Every structure is written in structure tokens, then in C-alpha cells.
Amino acid sequence: MELTAVDIRSWLAEDFGEGDLTTDALVSEEATGEASMLLKERGVVCGLEVAHAVFAELDPGVRFDQLAADGDQTEGEVARLEGRARALLGGERLALNLLGRLSGIATITRRYVDAVTGTGAEILDTRKTTPGLRLLEKYAVRCGGGTNHRLALDDGILIKDNHLRVAGSIGAAVELAQATGEEVEVECDTLEQVEEAVAAGADIILLDNMTPALLVQAVVLTGGRAKLEASGGVTLENVRAIAETGVDFVSIGALTHSARALDVSMEVA
């Protein structure tokens, strides 16, 4: 998980503004306290280290005892804290926002991964992430058992429909991309495009919004000459049927753009 003190300070500055008026009015600087962080529903916990970092930025001497590890499927108390009361209260919302968001992503990812167990297909994420939180959200996908697709635009070549409109054809686009020496993935909407991509020597073909019946045909047509990634319209209800067509990967934007935050809380003793 990639995280810097600059990130934490920026997020805290956004939340604090000019200062925590409520806590500063009610709690003395010398006061200390204890608290517990809780998952109020069963799920895959993710974000304990970043929660710790939030409190440590406000109180370098804070004690943060993890009672679970990121990636554990659990419920209830996941961490205990002890430190300056102002730090515990001031960092509470940011720490919970991050813990709930990341745990939600890890939890829904685990459900997709479990749904395709035994098919041989891998669950991938996409770049449909929250600006500024991509590395953390992709970390959460890994905690849920998924696999990261591209982390950024410099992390692989993926020729999509708008690229094809500019390049003119799949064959021309793949040829230009292959000159970089990088692995080349190309998006295809039809079986005719799949044939073009295979003929051009694409390494991976993204099968966009194809029905399971079309996916089976694409698998047969490709005959192992390229890896196949199914994407578009994937839900927990249909993901296994998609995986059973024989594709190598199933990519799901909803892992990060639509995951519901897990219900989490912090209780001061």
C-alpha cells in the first residue's frame, strides 16, 4: 500500500479547516483516552494501516493495536487505540471514512472472487477509481483477492474504441503499439473485430459488453492465440456464467466506482 505523510496531512487539512472547534472547546490538551474501531457488519477489513497513520499524524505517541489484519473476513472490534483525546476525536472521521471505503471495496471484490472460484478466471479492477485514492483502492482490491489491471496509463497499452477511430483500424493500431515492445491489449465489440485483433497479433483482447454466448464464440475463435478479458455489464448474478465461458479475466469497474462503504464506527471508552 502506497501512502505518504503528505496525503494524510492534506486529508486532515481538508477535514480540520481552521481547527476542530468542538473538540478544542470541550477537551483539554492534556487529556488522554482509549477507543475501539469496529466493523458493524461482516466483511473484509482493509485500511487499518492508513487509519493508524491518521492518528499517528495527530499524535506520534498514539498506541494502535490491530486485532485483525487487512484481508481478514471478520466483524466487530478490529483495533484499539490509546493516546491524546484530541487526536482520537479529531482523526475519527477521516480514519473511519478510509476504513469504511477500503473495506467496502475489499468486501465486494471478495464476493466476485468467490463467485468465480474453480473457473480459472481472474477478477480484475479498472482505472474507474476515486481521484487521489487510486493506489489505496487498488490495494483494497488485492486485499479482497482480486488482481490489479493497469495502475496508470504508463502501466500498459490498452487500445480502446476512441484510439481505433484515430488510428483507423485494429491492424494499424496494433502494429503501431507493437513497435513499443510492450504487451498490446485491444478492445473489441464484435467477433469480426476479434478476428482482426488475432490476425494483428494482439496479446490480450478485451471483449466489451458481449453476452456469454458471444464470449464462448470468441474463446473458440481465438483458440488460445491471445488472452481474453470480458468486461461490461458484469454483476454478481452473471459473473460466474461469464467466467465459465473460458475467458482468462473478468474486469469490473464497479469494484471501485460503486462499492458500498462498510458500516464502521469508533467508540471512545
Residue 192 has a CB neighbour count (10 Å cut-off) of 11
Q: Which residue has the cell 497513520?
A: 53
- Beta-strand (E) ranges in 130-252? 157-159, 184-188, 204-208, 227-231, 249-251
What are the backbone angles phi and psi of residue 133, rounded to the nearest 5°? -115, 10
Starting at the edge strand found earlier in the chain, the sheet holding 32-44 runs 63-66, 73-84, 32-44, 264-268
d(CA 188, CA 217): 13
Locate 241 and state its grid cell: 456464467
Residue type, 83: G
Locate 260 and state its grid cell: 458500498
Q: What is the DSSP string of 22-62?
A: HHHHHS-TT-EEEEEEEEEEEEE---HHHHHHHHHHH-TT-
Annotated catalytic residues are 93, 128, 160, 187, 208
3-class DSSP state for residue 148?
coil
Residues composing the chain: 269
